[in-house]
Amino acid sequence: MKKYDNLKDRLISLYCDNDDLKPKLQHPSDYDGNWCVTNGHIAISIPHELITPHGESKLGYQGLWANPLPEPKLFTLDAFKLALKEIPCKPDYFYSYVDCGCKSGGCKRCDYEGTRTIKGKKNGLLKYEVEDYDMIYIKLGNAFFEANIIYKVIYAIELLGLELSIIQLTHHSEKNQSIIKVGDVQIIFMPVNNPYNEPAYAEIF
């Protein structure tokens, strides 16, 4: 299998957390002997020989209690993609604020507030929109996931060049982690609570 030397920084920027209050999640760690990046909602676990470690930490990613399946469920990347097909999405943007330069907030450029907003694309990812603050659920087995988490799973598979691999759901739980294996790569992702038993937008299986 191809060795992915040039992906380490991309994976870190996309899947590690950038919150200063979560320092353990800002850097790669060891998970089960593999190289792991995570933000606490989704984790990518990759064998060391497939990618050159960068900023590796021995902190570990602990506390997994996902339920192993008696036999893995098998499906393809298209099953994930079909679940997102009709959901509206747009590029994910970030906003930063800079001093306007008008000294006292006295111009229309900054809406008389003294600072103006700069808008830029965030990592080149898409963001699946939620209307009226309602959650768009994607159902995988008995668990519900945010559309943006399913998209990140798809993006990781494509980023690693594993589009043609059979996906194996090896662990699954309504409230704890689900784990899929794609080639030698594991992706660990968290469901969301569905307190009102709202119907899923789409079902993967």
Enumerate the domain spans of the chain.
5-86+130-203, 90-126
Q: Which residues of the chain have pLDDT under 70?
A: 1-6, 51-66, 94-98, 103-106, 108-109, 111-123, 130-134, 195
How many CA atoms are closer than 13 Å to the CA of 200, on its beta-carbon side? 19
Q: How far apart are CA 188 and CA 129, in angstroms?
A: 23
Predicted TM-score (pTM) of the model is 0.73
Taking every pair of Cα atoms in the chain, the longest distance, rounded to a whole number of angstroms, is 67
Short-list 168, 169, 126, CA closest to 149: 126
pLDDT for res 112: 64
Taking alpha carbons only, the member of 201, 170, 191 closest to residue 87 is 201
Architecture per CATH, domain 5-86+130-203, reads as Roll (3.10)
